[in-house]
A and B are shown apart, each in its own frame.
Chain A
Amino acid sequence: MENMQAVNNFVAAYLKKKGFKEAEQLLEDLQNKESAPIDFHNDPELAKFIHRFSQSEDDVARYQDGYSKLRSWTYSSLDLYKHELLRVLYPVFIHSFMDMVAKGHLQEARTFFNNFREDHELMHSRDLQKLEGVLSQSHLEEMEFARSLRQSKVNIKICQYSYDLLLQYLHKTQSTAMLGVINEHINFQVSSGQPSSISDDAEVVTLIGSCQDTANQINQKEIHWGLLEDSLEERLEKAGGLLSDSEKTEEENKEGDADDTKKRSVESGKQGASTKKLKKEKALNATAKSARPEASTTPAAPRVKAKLPLPLMSTEVEQSILEDLRNRVQLSSVLLPSVSFYTFLNTHNGLNCSSISHDGSLVAGGFSDSSLKVWDMAKLGQQGGSSILQAENDSTSSEHVVGPNGGKRSYTLFQGHSGPVHSATFSPLGDFILSSSADTTIRLWSTKLNANLVCYKGHNYPVWDVQFSPVGHYFASASHDRTARIWSMDRIQPLRIMAGHLSDVDCVQWHANCNYIATGSSDKTVRLWDVQNGECVRIFIGHRSMILSLAMSPDGRYMASGDEDGMIMMWDISSGRCITPLMGHTSCVWTVAFSCEGSLLASGSADCTVKLWDVTTSAKVPRNEEKSGNPNRLRLLKTLATKSTPVYSLQFSRRNLLFAAGALSKNL
């Protein structure tokens, strides 16, 4: 405390000398607060002044000198506090560099950068690559990343003692350059007690500027992540619960179900009829259900109302879905899924994306030559692998004879785009396909008519991703123009535009209840948006590189995101926190998918593997022992290696069969 006092006295004396009354006052206030979070941020003027002081009096060499001293001091500090102090180094480093650039000392800045970049290479290599290119003041202005860094402060949680140590050091060495940088760009959140654990550094990893301050605020917003009321699953569950011989819940369900049926039969005759049928089949369900393990061990999520008008489902479709749900295999850590793999052959490096329909019968591939090709597996493979090959051979040979126009292909070719197709998605029933392309359009195709129905124009730049909503009809797109948009099939204008990401929106995914969409971006954040009002309701910070894939758990509680480095993060949607990072992949995670009951997560990567993760252990255990800080809880259940076939897409069928697709690439 004495040291702290000394520093404060020093600063106060300095301020007095220069005549900064306000600042002096503020400092006194701060001293009185003591252990409360010290927030220099309240008065940007103060920081500015201090900074200007350091600027005017010190030449650039002071930065280099000051930083190297600070660095060696940090590395030699006590182990217990070291990792906290190390966090300070990175912002100091990049801001020192940018200060030097801003003052025009380019040569010195470059040497400084190269001298110390190794320290941060591990954690921030991508940021460093970007910053490396900053070579003049104008670049600082122009570059989004640098600008947002300059404009905002970094929040660093630090314990009281580390904070004292740091101040003491800065005071002793009188390195005003460092003090200036720290004051201007770092917002210390001093907490009393023990230093936080090493793993808890998610916040400091991503310096994304403005949202840093608002992120916490945004993440306070309320989210209704429960499933839709009256969903098919729910109905089935109730139907099953009716006859299962569990005591109390049974009766409750019965009542609920009775009410439900009454209400719905009043509502519409069509639906009423379907529920009658449903009732008939309850007896059948019961046998299937009783075999199921207790699905209701997790507390039932609060049901929510759909904010969008949902499309009606025909009775036959409903029946077939119910049939699928009844026949669903219950996967768990001991019962792993069967994986059917669709390998694209002879793609000549042209396959950009693939998509598999919900029942696995259709496979679509989007190619860089602007074409979209759809294979009907039912036509191809009546008798398994060998006959597929045969059919393929047949078609290729016949094509050679007849020529490209009249030849019988093994696939349906959809032509219409004028740029590489970057994404394709099947509607839940498989009757429509959407494809997005670098030509800035999204096209809707009918698999029944084999024709293009609509071309949606709205984005100004390549559309990276498009996803049908779980109920169909609506879809969301993500683009290089930094927006995500919501569309409905019957309108050519977007219904909503979600703007806020600081870089490309790379992937998009619907929440299970259709009221939210999640977007992953090159700015290394994942955001959750309210579909109804277009507001950002969550920001998930923690990834260290571009986010490539997203998946929502079927119960709506969790979200998984995969990035360029091979890291997968599991998020709790309601709290906005990362439950656990899943490490194992060594290259881009192109796709992630939850199994239908949410117990397994499958991920497919450019390292030619499909990995299966146990979600139940990962998601539930850490919540109980949140404080004890047990970071890597999630269990890798199985790694399934393909042979030089990167996995582009994964899809669990309603019966929990896993479909995977990828292109065989020889030069891997």
Chain B
Amino acid sequence: MSIVAKETIEVIAQSIGINNLSDDAALSLAPDVEYRMREIMQEAIKCMRHSRRTILTTDDVDGALNLRNVEPVYGFTSGGPLQFKRAIGHRGLFYIDDRDVDLKEVIEAPLPKAPLDTGVACHWLAIEGVQPAIPENAPVGVIAAPSNGNTYEQKDELPVDIKLPVKHVLSRELQLYFDKISELTLRKSDSALFKEALVSLATDSGLHPLVPYFTFFVADEVSRGLNDYSLLFALMRVVWSLLQNPHIHIEPYLHQLMPSVVTCLVSKKLGNRIADNHWELRDFTAKLVALICKRFGHVYNTLQTRLTKTLLNALLDPKRALTQHYGAIQGLAALGPNVVRLLILPNLEPYLRLLEPELLLEKQKNEMKRYEAWRVYGALLRAAGQGIYERLKIFPPLPSPPGHTIWKSKEKVVTAVPNKRKASMEPLEDEPALKKIATDGPIGSSASVTTLASSGENDAGQPSSSEKKTGNRVGKDGQKLKKSAILNQIWKDDLNSGHTLVTLLELLGEGILSFIPSPEMSLFL
């Protein structure tokens, strides 16, 4: 009836020297023994709970005995859980393996290593409810247990370090995947397989655990491979694809990605061969930066300001290389017309003054430098043009028919611009920026409008170098000056400019094909 058998009671009685325990006594003692045992277990469980544990230990039982004012059972204290062994031949019978220990051996054994002292480590379990998959969120047991002195040398790097001896749970498949992707990125970035890989990165769910590894990979490779153009491009495409993936939270890793991305935008030198089209890489990265700002700008409101500050610093520092200026302009332009209007346009005039000597054949003898300068010039044109184009778009169309004079003036300007360009660009016939502008159609033409407008603005204030420049190039065309003056007014008067420019644009939008191409064509011809 009781789980404690009568025989057990008898055995216990004998062990404490009572040999003549009657059967009846044993029988009635058995239930009471069971009850007392249960009582102690109940208290022991309380002790366990208050030690915030879910596994009962001998300490808890001792604590329970203590509560009942009973002498604790000695000899069972052990740090770890007890090792039970199954008795052979008896199911459900277990015993503790209690080996004989030679005292001499114990005394002579060298002192064991002192156990490590308790420590506290701190990490982000979640940032605004999203768990970053940093290694600290995985088991961190070994971090505080350095086996030798030099381990923390490594740890002193980025907060995320895949070299940490951390058991981050990463399935074998994911590891393979990561290895494959990094292999492709490093070696075969022009293969069709790489394209497939990018698609996979952009669409596959379940890649989230790999994000910290990819960010680290990108950061690492960018810092190492600044001379390898194709690698950098491949890496940026990987970042692009990762950003496209709707299944991963890349926000917590942005702070790691941004430096590498910005590096690819404004670095002085990307790739070491002349054939490397680093312009293209910069354009692509600019788009990437804009994408990041668009997606995460509202989450990290300092993101865009910090970025623009960096880019603007790069742009306004005359000591920086032209390639850096180009990257900065592209980056700013990609951030949208407002950024252009607020940051580029006010600085246009002093910057052009700087740029001018580089552009001219007689002042800059180095062909390469001049080419770069023209690149920058083209980027500026495009940025400004885009800015004004976008700005024009937001104004509501004016219902009244456009004034003929303005229309006329616009036409003149438009025709004047390519002429001017033609004149100025004759020395450099294969100017790619020009081609771009030409092909860009409305943007290109409005870009020229802006340049004119801005230079006109300068003109209104004082005779500036840029005005001189345009003046030189186009020739002393009085009519042109008048037009720029008109445009200047338009530009200054916000409301009026809105309406008039919209009207212009409307005209341009429809009429652009009819009359823009002809001068552009002529340019190409």
Are the CB atoms of B38 and A344 closer together than 8 Å? Answer: no
Interface residue? B109 (CB, 8 A): no
Q: Decide yes or no: A664 and B140 within 8 Å by CB, A368-B59, A385-B122 being known contacts.
A: yes
Interface residue? B143 (CB, 8 A): yes
Are the CB atoms of B117 and A643 closer together than 8 Å? Answer: no
B80: chain A residues at CB < 8 Å are: 667
When chains A and B are docked, how far (Å) is the Cα of A135 from the Cα of B1? 9
A661: chain B residues at CB < 8 Å are: 120
Are the CB atoms of B34 and A135 closer together than 8 Å? Answer: yes
Are the CB atoms of B118 and A389 closer together than 8 Å? Answer: no
Interface residue? B121 (CB, 8 A): yes
Contact of B51 among A135, A352, A506, A564 (CB under 8 A): A352
A378-413 Cβ-contact flags toward B at 8 Å (1 or 0):
001100111011101101110110000000011100
When chains A and B are docked, how far (Å) is the Cα of A561 from the Cα of B146? 40
Are the CB atoms of A349 and B125 closer together than 8 Å? Answer: no
**Interface residue ranges of A57-80 to B (CB < 8 Å):** none
Are the CB atoms of A380 and B129 closer together than 8 Å? Answer: no
A385: chain B residues at CB < 8 Å are: 121-123, 136, 159
B121: chain A residues at CB < 8 Å are: 342-343, 345, 385, 388-389, 392
**Interface residue ranges of A520-546 to B (CB < 8 Å):** 522, 546
Are the CB atoms of A342 and B129 closer together than 8 Å? Answer: no
B57: chain A residues at CB < 8 Å are: 349
A380: chain B residues at CB < 8 Å are: 120, 122
Are the CB atoms of A638 and B52 closer together than 8 Å? Answer: no
Are the CB atoms of B123 and A341 closer together than 8 Å? Answer: yes
Stretch at the interface among B148-156, B464-472, B509-517: B148-156
B185-226 Cβ-contact flags toward A at 8 Å (1 or 0):
000000000000000000000000000000000000000000
Are the CB atoms of A397 and B63 closer together than 8 Å? Answer: no
B56-73 Cβ-contact flags toward A at 8 Å (1 or 0):
010100010011000000
B17: chain A residues at CB < 8 Å are: none
**Of all chain A residues, which has the CB nearest B134?**
A385
B38: chain A residues at CB < 8 Å are: 129-130, 132-133
Are the CB atoms of B34 and A346 closer together than 8 Å? Answer: no
Are the CB atoms of B116 and A339 closer together than 8 Å? Answer: no
When chains A and B are docked, how far (Å) is the Cα of A73 from the Cα of B349? 96
Contact of B119 among A346, A352, A504, A648 (CB under 8 A): A346
A7: chain B residues at CB < 8 Å are: none
Interface residue? B305 (CB, 8 A): no
Are the CB atoms of A644 and B139 closer together than 8 Å? Answer: yes
Interface residue? B317 (CB, 8 A): no
Are the CB atoms of A386 and B155 closer together than 8 Å? Answer: yes
Interface residue? A377 (CB, 8 A): yes
Interface residue? B127 (CB, 8 A): yes
Interface residues of A, count at CB 8 A: 89
B126: chain A residues at CB < 8 Å are: 336-339, 610, 638, 640
A664: chain B residues at CB < 8 Å are: 139-141
- A590 CB, min distance to chain B CBs, angstroms: 6
**Of all chain B residues, which has the CB nearest A376?**
B120
Interface residues of B, count at CB 8 A: 64
B115: chain A residues at CB < 8 Å are: 346, 348
Are the CB atoms of A339 and B155 closer together than 8 Å? Answer: no
Are the CB atoms of A133 and B34 closer together than 8 Å? Answer: yes
When chains A and B are docked, how far (Å) is the Cα of A663 from the Cα of B54? 13
A339: chain B residues at CB < 8 Å are: 124-126
**Of all chain A residues, which has the CB nearest B153?**
A390
- A221 CB, min distance to chain B CBs, angstroms: 30
Interface residue? A634 (CB, 8 A): no
Most buried by A among B37, B38, B121: B121
B124: chain A residues at CB < 8 Å are: 338-341
Interface residue? B138 (CB, 8 A): yes
Q: Decide yes or no: A643 and B120 within 8 Å by CB, A338-B126, A348-B115 being known contacts.
A: no
Contact of A610 among B67, B125, B141, B169 (CB under 8 A): B125
Contact of A389 among B66, B116, B139, B152 (CB under 8 A): B152
Most buried by A among B129, B130, B143, B155: B129
A384: chain B residues at CB < 8 Å are: 122, 159
Most buried by A among B80, B143, B155: B143
Interface residue? A518 (CB, 8 A): no
Are the CB atoms of B120 and A342 closer together than 8 Å? Answer: yes
Are the CB atoms of B120 and A368 closer together than 8 Å? Answer: no
Contact of B46 among A368, A388, A522 (CB under 8 A): A522
Q: Decide yes or no: A346 and B49 within 8 Å by CB, A339-B125, A643-B139 being known contacts.
A: no
Are the CB atoms of B50 and A343 closer together than 8 Å? Answer: no
Are the CB atoms of A375 and B138 closer together than 8 Å? Answer: no
Q: Decide yes or no: A546 and B143 within 8 Å by CB, A338-B124, A390-B152, A640-B131 being known contacts.
A: no
B138: chain A residues at CB < 8 Å are: 643
Are the CB atoms of B120 and A345 closer together than 8 Å? Answer: yes
When chains A and B are docked, how far (Å) is the Cα of A636 from the Cα of B155? 36
Are the CB atoms of B129 and A346 closer together than 8 Å? Answer: no
Interface residue? B87 (CB, 8 A): no
**Of all chain B residues, which has the CB nearest A145?**
B42
- B389 CB, min distance to chain A CBs, angstroms: 35
B63: chain A residues at CB < 8 Å are: 420, 438, 462
- B8 CB, min distance to chain A CBs, angstroms: 15
Q: Decide yes or no: A106 and B31 within 8 Å by CB, A480-B67, A564-B49, A612-B129 being known contacts.
A: yes
Q: Decide yes or no: A107 and B50 within 8 Å by CB, A130-B42, A338-B124, A363-B120 being known contacts.
A: no
**Interface residue ranges of A614-668 to B (CB < 8 Å):** 637-638, 640-644, 646, 648, 660-661, 663-664, 666-667
Are the CB atoms of A136 and B119 closer together than 8 Å? Answer: no
Are the CB atoms of A341 and B122 closer together than 8 Å? Answer: yes
B323-334 Cβ-contact flags toward A at 8 Å (1 or 0):
000000000000
Are the CB atoms of B52 and A410 closer together than 8 Å? Answer: no
Interface residue? A290 (CB, 8 A): no
Q: Decide yes or no: A638 and B46 within 8 Å by CB, A385-B122, A420-B63, A664-B140 being known contacts.
A: no
Are the CB atoms of B49 and A588 closer together than 8 Å? Answer: yes
Contact of A345 among B49, B79, B137, B143 (CB under 8 A): B143
Q: Decide yes or no: A393 and B152 within 8 Å by CB, A385-B159, A462-B67 being known contacts.
A: yes
**Of all chain B residues, which has the CB nearest A343?**
B121
B116: chain A residues at CB < 8 Å are: 345-346, 396
Contact of A480 among B2, B46, B136 (CB under 8 A): B46
**Of all chain B residues, which has the CB nearest A352?**
B51
Are the CB atoms of A343 and B128 closer together than 8 Å? Answer: no
Q: Decide yes or no: A461 and B67 within 8 Å by CB, A339-B126, A390-B152, A642-B137 being known contacts.
A: yes
Interface residue? B398 (CB, 8 A): no
Interface residue? A464 (CB, 8 A): yes
B50: chain A residues at CB < 8 Å are: 352, 422, 462, 464, 506
A389: chain B residues at CB < 8 Å are: 121, 143-144, 152, 155
When chains A and B are docked, how far (Å) is the Cα of A409 from the Cα of B116? 12
Which A positions have Cβ atoms within 8 angstroms of B?
106-107, 110, 129-130, 132-136, 139, 335-353, 363, 365, 367-368, 373, 375, 377, 380-381, 384-386, 388-390, 392-393, 395-397, 399-400, 409-411, 420, 422, 438, 461-462, 464, 480, 504, 506, 522, 546, 548, 564, 587-588, 590, 606, 610, 612, 637-638, 640-644, 646, 648, 660-661, 663-664, 666-667
The 6 closest A-B pairs by CB, nearest first: A336-B129, A135-B31, A133-B38, A341-B125, A339-B125, A345-B144
Q: Could you show 13 A-B contacts with beta carbons less than 8 Å apart?
A: A336-B126, A363-B120, A365-B120, A368-B51, A384-B159, A395-B117, A397-B149, A410-B117, A588-B54, A640-B126, A641-B131, A648-B52, A667-B81
